[in-house]
Chain A
Amino acid sequence: MAENKEKILEVKNLEVTFKNGKKEFVAVQDANFDLYEGETFSLVGESGSGKTTIGRAILRINPTSKGEILYKGKKINGKLDKETDRWVIRNIQMVFQDPAASLNERATIDYIVSEGLSNFHMYHSDAERHQKVVDALKSVGLLEEHASRYPHEFSGGQRQRIGIARAMVMEPKLLIADEPISALDVSIRAQVLNLLKKFQRETGLTILFIAHDLSVVRYISDRIAVIHKGRIVEMASTQELFKNPLHPYTQSLLSAVPMPDPQIEKNKKLLIYSGMEEDSKTDPRSWQEVLPGHYIYANESEMVEYRNKVTL
């Protein structure tokens, strides 16, 4: 389905390294994936897996140490000229996990939502700017009068909607949503997920969704990449990944999803993944395709095993 669509973002052999004095820590190694226009692509993994780092590398908050990130065919990591820089900021927006920490608490909602607009002179008159803010607020289910208020006057779910309004007012092509619902109550989660889906339907937005919970991801995404300790270990369409979860880490994530069914929950066995031995000399692992569109990080002997397990 995704093949005939245009690639909006390409991540090639991406590596991100953090330096602390002389110590180096590789947070992301050899990440490869593409985003197609209009799809929702999810990066799933536990804290410390590097999923957020990838999102931040795309936005150039974290510098990359190897590899390339291409947006619409143009390289956007490393040093950029000013024009490209602004072009990227304009088109790629982010929604953060903690809605309380990501809004300036001393600014009004009007200012928060329109800051990007003024940076890019996206209006001709102040009335037009205000109208854009009001439209953005209305599109996330808030009211015009909310524009003059401050973040602390809102609940967690409302603040997250302000974060989404701030991103969407820029009319971005790509939205990076970093755990946008983890800090919210279950009933509010549903509202925020529906909202993201609505924007995607209306504007053809591409979403990179970062999460630790496969149950949310199953519902929202077209394709999923599972990341463990800085390395993407499995990637497939949502349907395929849930049908044929091959990597033991993917299986452990699936077994951890709490199901709202006492009979099933009380008999379930948790699969715990504690890492695999790496035999890098005789049989090194690499990024391989098991089925069309279904990739896995495996060596030759594991591939034989995986191929046998696959059900079509």
Chain B
Amino acid sequence: MSEFESFSEISDEGDNVNPVTSIDFLLHDDLLERILAYLPIASIFRAGCVCKRWNEIVNSRRLNVLSQKPWYFMFTSSDEPILWKWYSLELLCIEAPNWFIASSCGLVCFMDNDSRSQLFVCNPIIKDYDLGMEPIDYDVFGGLEPLDTSLPWDWDITRKVINPSEEEVVPPPPEKEEEAPPAPAGSQNNAVAHQQPPLPLPPQPQAVVLEGPPSPKPPVLVGAAIRTETAAVSAGFTTEVVAYNGGRRIVRPDWLPPFWTVLTKVRKNGKRAGQFDKYYEDPTRQYIFKSKKYVLEFLQHGKVVKKRGPKKAPKTDAAQEMPESSVQTAK
């Protein structure tokens, strides 16, 4: 490998067209993919405009599975904070205004909220769809787990969640026998997601959260990120990104069991005003814990430090809690 020896003085001033220094010649596809996978989505697409090879990689089906960082699409029609930048993403299949969403490793699964008769899986990066899946009976469906990262477009709905108001009992997470108090029946959004045996969290899922427009007129997708995020989580989906603080990611900690939610709250006053507090909410949305320690104590011993206040109806819940959540006030 002579390239390695030719470690001569090569300035990286742009005009120097020495092929040896080009990232293109040095790095094979695997590494280039890795690099690109570290980028946020907009950068990935722009990188695809660099040359043919990069374009191919960007458009390859493998790329988004390799992605190291969560991606987040946000769509809005609201006049909320200016720091939010909104992108529209065309998804051909979105017709109804409301969809349930689950995402994992870049694949997104949609189920329409109204009839619950449509279900499809989409790869938003390459805009590929898998339609015509059988309608399902479940009220809620859970996150996707890719079967094997080397087969990115293979997917399976591995968690099927049954509304706890039905008599059917799904085994709770193995390590904890905590009686998960059933969520208020009849609230679709709040169905408790019982985790079936220890599925590992997807290593680096990207959260992709979309919501249809409130009006029945389709094609423009709109939705507020944290809101749909909350809704998605309340519906039992696990998502990786929890919130953004002015561009900084608050990532879901890996020790947190599936279906737990991370809430963030900005301090309004005091010395630390503007900074974040983070809370963990259990899948039933009954308890909130301030720290990892408390969560683990709860999981191990069922110890509850503080119970959550009276709960609102789940749907308004998602909508109303939103304004408090960090994303909006990111400074």
Question: Are A and B genuine complex partners?
Answer: no
Partner-A contacts on B (CB < 8 A): none
Partner-B contacts on A (CB < 8 A): none
